[in-house]
Every structure is written in structure tokens, then in C-alpha cells.
Amino acid sequence: MIPMNPTPQSALAGIRVLDLSRVLAGPWATQILGDFGADIIKIEKPGDGDDTRSWGPPFLRKDDGAHGDAAYYLAANRNKRSVTIDFAHPDGAELVRRLAPHCQILVENFKVGGLKKYGLDYESIAAINPSIVYCSVTGFGQTGPYAKRPGYDYIIQGMGGLMSLTGEPAGEPMKSAVAVCDLFTGMYAVTGILAALRHAERTGQGQHIDASLLDTQIAMLANLGANYLLSRETPQRLGNQHASIAPYQVLPTSDGHLILAVGNDHQFRDFCAASEVALCDDPRFATNEARVVHRAALTEALSQIMRTHTTAYWIAALETAKVPCGPINTLPQVFADPHVIARHAVENVTRADGEQLELAANPLRLSATPPQTRAAPPLLGQDTDAVLRELLSASDAQLQHWRDTHVI
């Protein structure tokens, strides 16, 4: 099993995170912090744990054939220690409060005000640990008319405009296959946490971070949001095409499809030379602005050209001409790609029960303090006794009492 202790090269060694979050956005944030060496103490409900442990199939299989943890849970929970505490029980809430002074960061994703009744809200925790960086991840934020609503990624993709922009022009609005609002919110949360941690280290003053999926989705609109705010024109779905660049789209080949991503007029001329066509001499296609205006005619012309050869032919020809292009890979093709293998994008880990897993690695490569997988996603409650002994000096008798009273 990979050792849990961070190496001296871990950027966040010595930082401890009290993780009360579940599902994806919060766990994604704490997993990133754990990758860089923070000690993540994941608090889970005894018996059930994080909801995503049961979000399958696919599942790991136990020796008796029963379901183990789901792949969904495994994707977002490496480098953590699982501690089971039922903080709906007064003694459980007290245990979490006692852990808080030992942590620099707390992450939670309960409904607004949901932790106040347990004495685990920001004000209560800050009273016992004034330097705590307390990050709340919710669907709609701590304020505003929607603050009390439950927020799920799918809903936010719709409310935040992403689905109105995704899909074929004549089709229905489409969500992203991956929960991008959750994931981006988790990454934005990490940025806020590290900024607040830097402030706390300088001043001793903690703060409350309000991370909202809807706010994040609106920020993620990026150039499309800016386009609307500048023009006040409602953008329409373009399928696999780009709102501001052409050709930047999927095109058919003789045996499949290809992504052609021409970013400027020079690249378009290189494409025309490589494909031995004179489209760049046509005034409708001579500049990017003209190509965007005449997008339909361009797509028709390109489709006829690209269907004359295979995907492999076009990739070889266009890469030689330095024209950006690429295949549309299935996941088996992704994970078998020699470049993906060379970049060590997948790593092998071993769980506490000896189960071997393959998981996607942290994508960042740092020259001095690289992220590391020090521990596989934990079994439910596997670290409860160790953490309570280490941080609270709990005795065997206390642990047994909490177990007998269903606190842990």
C-alpha cells in the first residue's frame, strides 16, 4: 500500500483538512489538496458513507460477490483517511468540533445553514479555530433568492446556460457527459482555499469561502458569456462547431470522423495546400470572419473533401502540414494511446484490503513538488480509530463506547 505520510517535497505537507463533503464538487477539491500532500480527514456516516460509494455500476466486487465501492467514489477520493462519525448524534458533533482545532481547512457541501444545528457552521467552528479556512460548496451560494435550493450539476448546467449552447441546432439542449459544473467548482474552490490559507498564514485570520456551482457555471461561459454581454445576441447551439472560428469542428472521413481545428487564416491556407484544394482563394473563405459568416457552405465543401480519404490519412497529412487536427477516441483508445501511457496518466494503487486498482492520475507535473498518490481511496471507516487516537488521544474504552452508542 502507498504510504500515507507526505514526502518533504509535498507542497501542502503539514496542512490538515477536515472534509465533510460528499459526492463530487467538494471531494474533488479535497482530493486535489490531498494530491499535494495535505492530510485529508474524510468524515463519513457510519454504515453508509459517501453517497457515491453506491453510485454504480460498475462496482468493485468483494470475495463473496457482494458490491464493493463504486467507480464514481473511487474517482474522487484518493489520498484521504476515512473516519466514520455520525454528527447527527450530539457526541458525534462534539467529536467533529474537537477535530476542528487540529485542522487548517474545513470543506463542506451541505445546504445553506444545514450544519448550524450541529454546531458545525462557520461561525461555530471559527469560534474555536479563528484561523480556519472554511469552504462551503453549494448549488446557488450562501445568499440570494435561490440559496436554500438543492443544487445538482445537471440542474446547474441547465440554469447556467451551458445546455442551451450544447447540442445540435435542430436537436434538444444537451448536458455534458461529465459533471463539469461540479468539477470546475471543485477546482475553483481549491484556488480560493489556497488563497485564503496564504492569508491565514500571514495574519492568523481565517475566512469563509462561498463556492457556488451556478456562479462557477456563469464564469465558465467565458467567451460565449462575453459574446452575449457585448452583443446582447442570444447564441444558438452549433453542435460540434465553434461560435467564433471556422473550420473548428467535426468532419466526416471515408471511415469515420476527424476534428479539424483551424485557428487562423495561415493554418487554413496550410490546410488548403495539404488537401490540394483552392478554398482559400474563394472570398467566402479567405478570412476567418468570412468563413464564420459562410459556415454552412464551408462545411458542405469540407465534408466532400474529407470523405475522399481515411481518418488516418488526414491526420498524417495535416500533422505534416502543422494543421491542428485529431481523432475522436473511445475510452479504450484513450487509455491505450502511447502518449497517454508515456505521460503516466493512469496509475496502479492498492487499497487497504489488497484490492488493486487503476485510476487516472493528477494531471499536473511540477518539477519540485509534484502531486503524488500516497493512498488509494479508503475503505469506509478504515482510519477512524487511528485518527481519533492520533488527534484526540482516544482510548480503547472511549472508542468502544462511541462504537456501542453508534457515534462512530
pLDDT at 143 > cutoff 50: yes
For 14-60, the pLDDT digits (tens) are 999 999 999 999 999 999 999 999 999 999 999 999 999 999 999 99
Given the residues 153, 182, 210, 383, the one annotated as active site = 182
- pLDDT value, residue 5: 62
Q: Look over the chain and give the mean of its residue pLDDT values, rounded to a whole number.
A: 95
| Domains (range + CATH), the chain | 16-220+340-404 (3.40.50.10540), 248-328 (3.30.1540.10)
pLDDT at 306 > cutoff 70: yes
Q: How confident is the model at residue 1 (pLDDT cuts 50, 70, 90)?
A: very low
pLDDT at 388 > cutoff 90: yes
- pLDDT value, residue 67: 85
Residues 6 or more apart from 226 whose CB is under 8 A from it?
A: none
For 180-228, the pLDDT digits (tens) are 999 999 999 999 999 999 999 999 999 999 999 999 999 999 999 999 9
Q: How confident is the model at residue 7 (pLDDT cuts 50, 70, 90)?
A: low
In the residue annotation, 282 being an active-site residue is answered as: no
Mean per-residue pLDDT, 73-91:
98
pLDDT at 6 > cutoff 80: no
For 238-278, the pLDDT digits (tens) are 899 998 899 999 999 999 999 999 999 999 999 999 999 98
Mean per-residue pLDDT, 94-98:
98
